[in-house]
Structure 1
Amino acid sequence: MAISVFDLFSIGIGPSSSHTVGPMRAARMFVLSLQRDGLLPRTACVRAELFGSLGATGHGHGTPKAVLLGLEGHSPRTVDVESADEEIARIRGTQRLRLLGAETGTAHEIDFDESTGLILHRRRTLPYHANGMTLFAYDTTGAPLLEKTYYSVGGGFVIDEDAVGEDRIKLDDTVLKYPFRTAAELLSLSRETGLSIPSLMLENEKAWRTEDEIRTGLLEIWQVMRACVTRGLSREGILPGGLKVRRRAANAARALRSEGDAAARATEWTTLYAMAVNEENAAGGRVVTAPTNGAAGIIPAVLHYYINFV
């Protein structure tokens, strides 16, 4: 199986790759299906039902917010995290949804009552995965137009009901220049070819993209990581979610700066970089899923350590 670095490291939002990023992508996939099938202009009502873990812990993970943004056409990669809460307030205040409103020229506005249009089943599950959701669309007479079930299987990856089961999921069969299955095989290839691991992985990545595209894409990921650390080190207040957890990174950064000689406290700074990302993730900010949101702080912290202290 071939996996690109851009599959493992994807730009998204917090707080969860499986409960926030995945549901937003699924909801957007649903309205794009309506558009593709010519059903969007006939749609008068939509309903989303969340099952299993999505239903049980969805409120704490911002899943309803993610679904509403996805129905309006937002992508986790590009949604404006600064105005997202305002958009949700507008949807709830007007009880109107702009289906695909984030897609220029394609918005289709409908009535939407969240109390009946977005259902979280705390004790019901779907058969193939704990993170399941089913979306429905109806016309003005109440006749069904489309029903689709999606599973958010981790890391922001989403599959629909047509691709469930090991015999139905098509793995990426791209032929790589230096295929390997284990770390031992990777090290062996490095010795045999004389290539460093980064150089070898770059050659494999060229199976999907040009070198310029790879380097540009990786630098974009790095810019998002760097911006996330910067925001996390500067923002204060209470994190969302109802537990009244106070942000700590900004205050800890001030304390470390007052100690002088940053290099003598490089390990503490590295921990702080990860904390800054984790707090941004918890706040629903822009993060890089690497390879999950729960681990989103590790790679940025290590890269900041290298740049600042090595």
Structure 2
Amino acid sequence: MFKIGVGPSSSHTLGPWRAALQFLDKIKERYPITEVVALKVLLYGSLAKTGIGHGTDVAVILGLCGADPVTFDVNLIDSTIATIGLSGKMKIDHTVEIPFQPKEDVVFLMNESLPFHPNALTFLCTLKDGTQLAETYYSIGGGFVVQEGVSNNSANEVELPFTIDKAQDLLHWCIKTGLSISEIVQENEHAWRSEEETKAGVLRIWETMKSCIYRGCHIDGKLPGGLNVSRRAAKLNARLMKNVPYHNYEEWLQGIRSQPATFQYTLDWVSCFALAVNEENASFSRVVTAPTNGAAGVIPAVLMYYIAFCDGNVEDKIYHFLLCASEIGSIFKKGATISAAMGGCQAEIGVSSAMAAGALTEMLGGSARQCMMAAEIAMEHHLGLTCDPVGGLVQVPCIERNTMGAIKAITASQLALQSNPDNARVSLDAVVKTMWETALDMNTKYKETADGGLATNITLALPEC
């Protein structure tokens, strides 16, 4: 559920980037990379319609260059793409230079879609001897990629102690073993690696989230893309800190906690944390899919709320928060979707809010049933949320939606903690099923195409924030 990558979109940026890397590996399985003389990329459906605003063309080019989205210096993105555009050449896989014109060799097929998934792209490759290769990939949300005609059964190679497809399965194991949700996840993760390795990986994810929040709270200016959206997190941070001196994250956190935690003060900080992450995401910075880039600010904001205002600043608590959140997200991915191109924004902000609500509830002492109740409440009040990005950019209304998702998650958690799950009329599995049915019923123009909603009522000449 959590992948370190580059904004602004997990399905439109990170997924295509990883697809390009997979295509390079596919070529190298059969031929020396030096045999390649030409490459072309075809973008279909949602990838084509919002690809410019989401940087899909940039992502596939960087992937074909062999750049790693986890480690590539985001400060070099613009210069790398500009150099390729000016020279008309690209060094694929850091190895061989071939002719490449970004505006001609990345083709946006606005009116064509492939049946399996709206986020489809095809790579065409020509070798020295005239051999031509073509492979199609689908970016299915959250940075996950599947190749056409290839079955992804890697998960079946490991026998998990606790098999979970639905919330009811998870609840069964929690009741039978007496373990919490996060402890069930921890045991399953042991099937792949040691506890030390799992913990180190999860905390690395948190370090990336933390750095993104802190960085986003200290950068001012306008977001790229043409909407002229002003960054707000830095100004809000400055107002809330009230001239309290600090020089690093730890001192900053201490400064946040040093002031009376009134309702308004806490609410403003939660919004600030979420704004910071998604302003960074919109700026092609490094973020964590949670479970997507468009919803990347919800879980970090709620986790920061737990750290700053609920005594959650302990590595082990942060670790278990993220484990619990990941399992809630996995249930939605298995039973519905985490792709806005398939399900609208309910699949992104809705799922992230449910993940955060469940995790916060566990960390505040809630039972497994209360965690699932919190996740259900959060999603129930995101059902039908459309994805209508203005200008195809992950800015309006996406950035503010992360603040709303975070606040709803905290509210859902509090409701669940003060409730008896025995009296709940809607189960988590029922809301997952409902979300998927809603996704199937939703008009395509509200599924990350920029063909409906705010995207058609706000022009690029009218700043919206």
Contact residue 256 and residue 262 of structure 1 kept, 8 A:
no
In structure 2, the partner of 1:148 is 135
In structure 2, the partner of 1:222 is 206
1:135 aligns with 2:108: no
| Paired residue secondary structure (1:190) | helix
AA aligned opposite 2:55: G
Contact residue 84 and residue 101 of structure 2 kept, 8 A:
no
1:190 aligns with 2:174: yes
How many angstroms apart in 2 are the aligned matches of 1:191 and 1:162?
A: 39
1:10 aligns with 2:8: no
| TM-score, length-scaled by structure 2 | 0.60
Contact residue 5 and residue 288 of structure 2 kept, 8 A:
yes
In structure 1, the partner of 2:73 is 80
How many angstroms apart in 2 are the aligned matches of 1:188 and 1:117?
A: 52
- Once the two structures are superposed, the pairs formed by residues 158-169 of structure 1 within 5 Å of their partners are 158-163=145-150, 168-169=151-152
In structure 1, the partner of 2:226 is 242
1:99 aligns with 2:97: no
Structure 2, unmatched stretches of 5+, are 245-258, 311-465
* Residue 35 of structure 1: how far off its partner (Å): 2.2
AA aligned opposite 1:113: Q
* Residue 80 of structure 1: how far off its partner (Å): 1.4
| Paired residue secondary structure (2:123) | strand
How many angstroms apart in 2 are the aligned matches of 1:258 and 1:119?
A: 50
* Residue 169 of structure 1: how far off its partner (Å): 4.9
| Paired residue secondary structure (1:60) | helix
Greater helix percent: which structure?
Answer: 2
* Residue 70 of structure 1: how far off its partner (Å): 0.4
In structure 2, the partner of 1:275 is 275
Distance 1:267 1:158, change over 3 A: same
How many angstroms apart in 2 are the aligned matches of 1:134 and 1:276?
A: 34
Contact residue 43 and residue 145 of structure 1 kept, 8 A:
no
How many angstroms apart in 1 are the aligned matches of 2:172 and 2:152?
A: 30
In structure 2, the partner of 1:5 is none
Distance 1:152 1:180, change over 3 A: closer
After alignment, is 90-99 or 187-196 more displaced?
Answer: 187-196
In structure 2, the partner of 1:300 is 300
| Paired residue secondary structure (2:90) | strand
AA aligned opposite 2:281: N
In structure 1, the partner of 2:184 is 200
How many angstroms apart in 2 are the aligned matches of 1:90 and 1:302?
A: 40
Contact residue 12 and residue 47 of structure 2 kept, 8 A:
yes
How many angstroms apart in 2 are the aligned matches of 1:276 and 1:295?
A: 12
How many angstroms apart in 1 are the aligned matches of 2:152 and 2:33?
A: 28
In structure 2, the partner of 1:286 is 286
Distance 1:262 1:240, change over 3 A: farther
Aligned length: 293
AA aligned opposite 1:172: A
| Paired residue secondary structure (2:288) | strand
* Residue 178 of structure 1: how far off its partner (Å): 2.4
| Paired residue secondary structure (2:149) | helix
Say what the alpha-carbon RMSD is for the aligned residues. Answer: 1.8
Structure 1, unmatched stretches of 5+, are 1-7, 102-106
Distance 1:36 1:182, change over 3 A: closer
| Paired residue secondary structure (1:83) | helix
* Residue 309 of structure 1: how far off its partner (Å): 1.6
**1:44-92 CA distances to partner (integer Å, 9 max, x unpaired)?**
1111111111111100100111011001011222221121111111111
| TM-score, length-scaled by structure 1 | 0.89
| Paired residue secondary structure (2:210) | helix
How many angstroms apart in 1 are the aligned matches of 2:267 and 2:172?
A: 32
* Residue 221 of structure 1: how far off its partner (Å): 0.3
**1:78-110 CA distances to partner (integer Å, 9 max, x unpaired)?**
221121111111111211101011xxxxx1111
Counterpart among 37, 53, 69 of residue 60 in structure 1: 53
Contact residue 7 and residue 286 of structure 2 kept, 8 A:
yes
Contact residue 212 and residue 280 of structure 2 kept, 8 A:
yes
1:122 aligns with 2:110: yes
In structure 1, the partner of 2:236 is 252
**1:259-285 CA distances to partner (integer Å, 9 max, x unpaired)?**
982522122211210111011111111
In structure 1, the partner of 2:153 is 170
AA aligned opposite 2:100: F
* Residue 301 of structure 1: how far off its partner (Å): 1.0
Greater length-normalized contact order (CA 8 Å, ≥ 6 residues apart): 1
How many angstroms apart in 2 are the aligned matches of 1:22 and 1:155?
A: 8
* Residue 140 of structure 1: how far off its partner (Å): 4.5
How many angstroms apart in 2 are the aligned matches of 1:97 and 1:262?
A: 55
Percentage of pairs with the same residue: 43
AA aligned opposite 1:152: S
How many angstroms apart in 1 are the aligned matches of 2:123 and 2:168?
A: 44
**1:195-217 CA distances to partner (integer Å, 9 max, x unpaired)?**
22222221111111110100110
* Residue 171 of structure 1: how far off its partner (Å): 6.8
After alignment, is 211-220 or 233-242 more displaced?
Answer: 233-242
* Residue 186 of structure 1: how far off its partner (Å): 2.5
How many angstroms apart in 2 are the aligned matches of 1:28 and 1:48?
A: 13
In structure 2, the partner of 1:22 is 15
After alignment, is 274-283 or 176-185 more displaced?
Answer: 176-185
Distance 1:127 1:253, change over 3 A: same
